[in-house]
């Protein structure tokens, strides 16, 4: 794809790649405009359902015009692929922003971001668009703190089912951020987006996704449908009290109990949760019974049991059942011998990726970014999927570098003439030159006749012969001139007898000459292309500029173009 031109935008580099599409950085070939181009991966071009979803994304994004939503500039589809031309935003995904820069966000940093996000989705919902895949990775934060929402790939229009490509019983979205109704495959509306926003904001304030420790989709689905999320202050005590109540309402399992719109959600943020109840943080039980002498033995026994409990707790916190040197209290796999680097979990190939998360647990030198599988050439194509594991190449070419056999800067896959060098404008083929005169046919006015470039590829003669036919009964006077590139030059004044013929030889290499004629009655003939000149004597003339005073006679001059095989004048 690199070097390919789509609607005047040349693809410069790969930004990233997802399950069905790749996003490229591109620049306009004539003006300094930079864009992002999302392209459907080639292997999906014959899948009609995926093609329809891709086009659906274009239909969803086209009408959305909001400062916090990435704009779609154009859409293009041809035999080579399907492309979305979008606004280029330089920023960082909210997930990376949290993990790499902020950790749990303080209130003064989180609230401005949340306001922008809610305003963007309030607008989208007002346009009847439901996103259905809200997650931190689809929210960009720029260096100035501005928010941009992207990836409407599985969005749908609320209403009569138009643009709804999801069948009942099918989940669409990223599992950690799905609403209960999404998990159950029910029809969703904007209230599902509000739940996903609640999970996203929960992660912003705590620094962690609440389902991070679960290892199967079944466990995540079960938690989403059946169990409320823990109070966020249990994960990070710095979460503001009022946000606990707001998040609790946004994350209600019953859609009727959630915020009913992003406007209501935003109003609660701005009022700091006024009127919302705050769930307790697991308060300890309170002993209310008064003590008596009869209770003393029970108290002693209770104290002993409590001390035994503390001793047992200390033992449990310090024991190491699998003997791997990681205490059970910190061991994520307390019954399996593991490594400290993987928090006590096994890592057979010592690549720093737990075996339970490692797609290639027996292959050393794996990459954590690729679930423990190796990528020796660093081209982001796993070696097991890479046909050229020792050479860097794009995923779209199975990890192999593209070939340019004729070294014309156009890869063979995009080159109509891979063995002959040619420009991009002609799909890699050389421009044809039928008469081998060094002037390409596209610029050659005489492509089958040898001629110099300064004469537009046409042959030329040092003189031109103009044939004049007079079919009238009058004598006709003809004046001839041409323009040499800097000035007008007279080539004489000729008379043609009644019912006579005359050949006028004009010595010039120019293809165009000009003539004026009149008969003895003072009448002149001309064609639509005319210039007016003043005749100063019987055999010479000069070009009239500005005022026409002191001009004894005025004639209208017409053009004859020898390059168009016009070399005669007939007077009737």
- Residues involved in catalysis: 133
Q: How far apart are CA 474 and CA 463, in angstroms?
A: 28
Instruction: Report the Cα 262 to chain-centroid distance in Å.
Output: 27
Q: Within 13 Å, how many C-alpha atoms sit on residue 134's CB side?
A: 29
349 burial type by CB count under 10 A (0-12 exposed, 13-18 middle, 19+ buried): middle
DSSP output for 225-256? HH-PPPPHHHH-TTS-HHHHHHHHHHT-SSGG
Q: How far apart are CA 512 and CA 489, in angstroms?
A: 12
DSSP output for 468-515? EEE-SSS-EEEEEEEE-SSSEEEEEEEEE-TT-EEEEEEE-S-SEEEE
Q: How far apart are CA 526 and CA 511, in angstroms?
A: 19
Q: Strands of 476-483's sheet, edge to edge?
A: 488-496, 476-483, 512-519, 553-561, 530-535, 541-543
Length of the chain: 572
Bridging pattern class, strands 501-507 and 463-470: antiparallel
DSSP summary character for residue 379: S
């Amino acid at each position: 794809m690199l070097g390919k031109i789509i609607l005047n935008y040349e693809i410069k580099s790969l930004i990233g790649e997802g399950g069905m599409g790749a996003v490229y950085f591109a620049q306009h070939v004539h003006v300094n405009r930079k864009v992002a181009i999302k392209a459907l991966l080639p292997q999906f071009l014959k899948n009609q359902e995926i093609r329809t979803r891709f086009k659906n994304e274009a239909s969803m994004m086209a009408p959305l015009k909001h400062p916090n939503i990435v704009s779609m500039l154009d859409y293009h589809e041809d035999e080579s692929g399907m492309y979305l031309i979008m606004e280029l935003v330089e920023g960082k995904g909210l997930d990376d922003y949290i993990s790499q820069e902020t950790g749990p966000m303080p209130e003064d940093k989180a609230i401005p971001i949340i306001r922008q996000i809610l305003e963007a989705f309030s607008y989208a919902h007002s346009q009847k668009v439901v996103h259905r895949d809200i997650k931190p990775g689809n929210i960009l934060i720029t260096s100035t703190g501005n928010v941009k929402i992207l990836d409407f790939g599985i969005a749908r229009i609320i209403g009569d089912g138009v643009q709804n490509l999801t069948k009942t019983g099918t989940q669409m979205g990223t599992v950690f951020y799905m609403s209960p109704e999404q998990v159950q495959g029910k029809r969703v509306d904007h209230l599902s987006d509000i739940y996903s926003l609640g999970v996203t904001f929960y992660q912003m304030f705590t620094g962690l996704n609440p389902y991070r420790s679960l290892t199967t989709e079944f466990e995540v689905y079960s938690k989403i449908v059946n169990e409320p999320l823990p109070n966020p202050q249990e994960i990070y005590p710095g979460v503001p009290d009022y946000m606990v109540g707001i998040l609790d309402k946004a994350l209600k399992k019953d859609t009727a109990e959630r915020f009913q719109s992003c406007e209501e959600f935003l109003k609660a943020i701005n009022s700091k949760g006024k009127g919302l109840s705050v769930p307790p943080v697991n308060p300890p039980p309170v002993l209310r019974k008064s003590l008596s002498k009869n209770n003393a033995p029970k108290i002693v026994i209770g104290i002993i049991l409590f001390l035994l409990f503390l001793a047992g707790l200390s033992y449990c916190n310090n024991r190491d059942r699998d003997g791997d040197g990681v205490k059970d209290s910190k061991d994520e796999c307390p019954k399996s011998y593991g490594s400290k680097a993987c928090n006590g979990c096994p890592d057979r190939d010592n690549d720093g990726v737990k075996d339970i998360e490692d797609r290639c647990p027996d292959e050393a030198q794996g990459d954590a970014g690729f679930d423990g599988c190796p990528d020796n050439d660093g081209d982001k194509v796993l070696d097991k999927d890479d046909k050229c594991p020792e050479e860097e190449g794009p995923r779209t070419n199975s990890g192999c570098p593209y070939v340019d056999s004729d070294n014309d800067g156009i890869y063979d896959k995009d080159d109509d003439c891979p063995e002959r060098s040619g420009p991009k404008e002609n799909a890699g083929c050389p421009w044809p030159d039928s008469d081998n005169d060094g002037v390409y046919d596209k610029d050659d006015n005489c492509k089958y006749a040898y001629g110099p470039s300064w004469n537009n590829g046409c042959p030329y003669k040092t003189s031109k012969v103009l044939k004049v036919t007079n079919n009238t009964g009058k004598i006709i006077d003809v004046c001839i001139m041409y323009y040499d590139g800097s000035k007008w030059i007279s080539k004489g004044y000729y008379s043609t007898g009644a019912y006579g013929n005359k050949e006028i030889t004009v010595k010039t290499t120019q293809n165009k000459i000009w003539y004026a004629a009149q008969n003895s009655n003072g009448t002149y003939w001309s064609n639509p292309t005319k210039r007016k000149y003043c005749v100063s004597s019987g055999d010479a003339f000069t070009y009239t500029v500005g005022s026409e005073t002191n001009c004894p006679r005025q004639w209208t001059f017409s053009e004859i173009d020898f390059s168009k095989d016009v070399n005669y004048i007939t007077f009737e």
